[in-house]
């Protein structure tokens, strides 16, 4: 089996398993107690904190363990905003932050604060200048991920951190995807991460708050973890998380080079193996193990099931894999094709043979899904008839509106238009993306009684 979804959760590292089992016997007592079992547990907790702090690049007394990466983000955002409430209630985030950050931003807006979302380019990266321009006198906090979880694009954290430092605004960096590969080389104020992203056990997050950052923990007071993460520490999991972080860091340089070569192989070969594919994300400034591409005329959920039957576990940002039927906010912010989206994220140790087998299986899987949906062949073109056309795709979800458009574009003369009626939010992104990929002109959209009309002019 090829498990290619490490960006969601990496397989448990062998060192994490060993540390977890050992600490179940040695670290079960309350580390706040003074008897010998408690002292033994405290030694384990202190050692884990020292190891994690060294990996993060902060002091041990600046780092606390939380029940998850999401809790670390929520606690970090809420505490920093509360600590600087006299400055203002303005928060800056990028448009492609993890949902935990965006949910924290929504909570601030519901409570009367303001949020600025900094847009990204087509590769998924923010412009450091645009981020700096968003900083104001009332900005209490800025948030920027170190690298994107869906497309792997690395963000200009160091330049954004310089701007934030000059403006006196703390910067929270979500380093969940990158911490296993190395320290965040920037002058950040707060940092969060999640152990299951680097091969540690689930249920352990990290929150680091630099000394000097105004921070007011929210919620009922608790004596544990400096009052920033209430509740009894899951000591065995914490010990395993710290041990595995140290282990993956020791292997990071060599493994990063190997995985980067494998993902580059996928990036280079997929467009030649599968017609009508858009590879997304920055081609150079990206994490070693992530590569993402989208296939025209493909239902993302169906493709994932097809690949699963072939022995490969991948994920998708397509709208049809979501109960909301809305595209991934990351792909939407980038303005790229969302239908048939596949994210391959290779865990450390992935054999090259598994990648080769994936490349062998993928073309057949995509072709099978396209045939099932009645998609047009790549070179298919109908004769000209000289009339503009209307495609009624109301009530039909991705990728059907685009498939129907592709079927009839050849039925209008060069200069003629096709109006695609759709009430699927994904069409707003996927029809312009299709036009760019197929050399046609996207004219724009018009509101209709039952949905939206997307206008496409035939150029070729």
Residues annotated as part of the active site: 320
Given the DSSP bridges, would you call strands 312-313 and 389-392 parallel, antiparallel or unpaired? Answer: unpaired
Q: What is the dihedral of CA 183, 186, 189, 195, to 10 degrees?
A: -20
The Cα 420–Cα 404 span in angstroms is 8
- Cβ atoms of 185 and 325 closer than 8 Å: no
Burial classification of residue 409, based on how many CB atoms lie within 10 Å of its CB (0-12 exposed, 13-18 middle, 19 or more buried)? buried
Q: How many CA atoms lie within 13 A of 81 on its CB side?
A: 24
Peptide bond preceding 399 in cis form (omega within 30 of 0): yes
Question: Cα separations (Å) of 252 from 245, 265, 318?
Answer: 10, 20, 31
Element at 99 (helix H, strand E): helix 99-110
Burial classification of residue 231, based on how many CB atoms lie within 10 Å of its CB (0-12 exposed, 13-18 middle, 19 or more buried)? exposed
The beta-strand segments (E) located in 124-174 are 139-145, 171-174
- Cβ atoms of 235 and 27 closer than 8 Å: yes
Tokens 């790229």 found at = 336
Terminal Cα distance for the chain, rounded: 43
The length of the chain, given as a count of residues: 460
Question: Cα separations (Å) of 165 from 24, 156, 159, 291, 395?
Answer: 43, 14, 10, 33, 50
Element at 448 (helix H, strand E): none
Which contacts qualify for 130-133: CB closer than 8 Å, 24 or more apart? 131/92, 131/94, 131/160, 131/163, 132/160, 132/163, 132/167
Q: Say whether 124 sits in a helix, a strand or coil.
A: coil
Nearest CA-CA partner of 454 in 424, 411, 415? 424
- Cβ atoms of 428 and 326 closer than 8 Å: no
């Amino acid at each position: 089996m090829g498990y290619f979804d490490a960006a969601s959760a990496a397989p448990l590292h062998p060192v994490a398993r060993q540390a977890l089992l050992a600490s179940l016997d040695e670290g079960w007592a309350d580390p706040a107690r003074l008897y010998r079992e408690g002292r033994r547990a405290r030694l384990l907790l202190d050692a884990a904190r020292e190891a994690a702090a060294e990996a993060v690049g902060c002091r041990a007394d600046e780092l606390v363990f939380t029940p998850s990466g999401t809790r670390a983000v929520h606690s970090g955002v809420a505490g920093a905003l509360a600590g600087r409430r006299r400055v203002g209630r303005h928060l800056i985030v990028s448009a492609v932050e993890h949902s935990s950050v965006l949910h924290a931003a929504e909570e601030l807006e519901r409570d009367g604060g303001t949020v600025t979302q900094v847009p990204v380019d087509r590769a998924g990266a923010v412009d450091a200048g645009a981020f700096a321009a968003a900083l104001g006198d009332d900005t209490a906090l800025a948030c920027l991920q170190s690298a994107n979880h869906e497309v792997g694009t690395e963000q200009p954290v160091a330049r954004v951190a310089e701007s934030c430092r000059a403006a006196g605004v703390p910067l929270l960096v979500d380093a969940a995807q990158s911490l296993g590969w190395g320290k965040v080389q920037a002058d950040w104020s707060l940092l969060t991460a999640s152990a299951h992203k680097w091969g540690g056990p689930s249920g352990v997050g990290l929150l680091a708050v630099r000394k000097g950052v105004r921070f007011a923990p929210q919620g009922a007071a608790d004596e544990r973890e400096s009052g920033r993460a209430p509740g009894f520490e899951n000591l065995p999991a914490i010990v395993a998380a710290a041990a595995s972080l140290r282990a993956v860091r020791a292997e990071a340089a060599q493994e990063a080079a190997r995985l980067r070569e494998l993902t580059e192989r996928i990036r280079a070969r997929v467009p030649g193996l599968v017609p009508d594919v858009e590879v997304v994300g920055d081609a150079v400034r990206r994490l070693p193990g992530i590569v993402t591409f989208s296939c025209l005329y493909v239902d993302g959920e169906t493709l994932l099931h097809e690949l699963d039957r072939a022995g490969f576990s991948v994920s998708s940002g397509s709208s049809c894999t979501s109960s909301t039927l809305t595209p991934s906010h990351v792909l939407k912010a980038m303005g790229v094709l969302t239908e048939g989206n596949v994210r391959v994220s290779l865990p450390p140790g992935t054999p090259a043979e598994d990648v080769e087998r994936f490349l062998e299986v993928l073309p057949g899987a995509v072709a099978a899904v396209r045939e099932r949906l009645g998609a047009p062949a790549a070179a298919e073109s109908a004769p000209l008839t000289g009339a503009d056309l209307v495609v009624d795709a109301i009530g039909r979800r991705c990728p059907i509106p685009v498939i129907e458009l592709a079927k009839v574009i050849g039925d209008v003369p060069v200069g003629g238009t096709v109006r695609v009626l759709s009430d699927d939010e994904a069409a707003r992104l996927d029809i312009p993306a299709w036009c760019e990929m197929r050399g046609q002109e996207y004219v724009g959209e018009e509101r209709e009684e039952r949905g939206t009309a997307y206008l496409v002019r035939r150029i070729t």
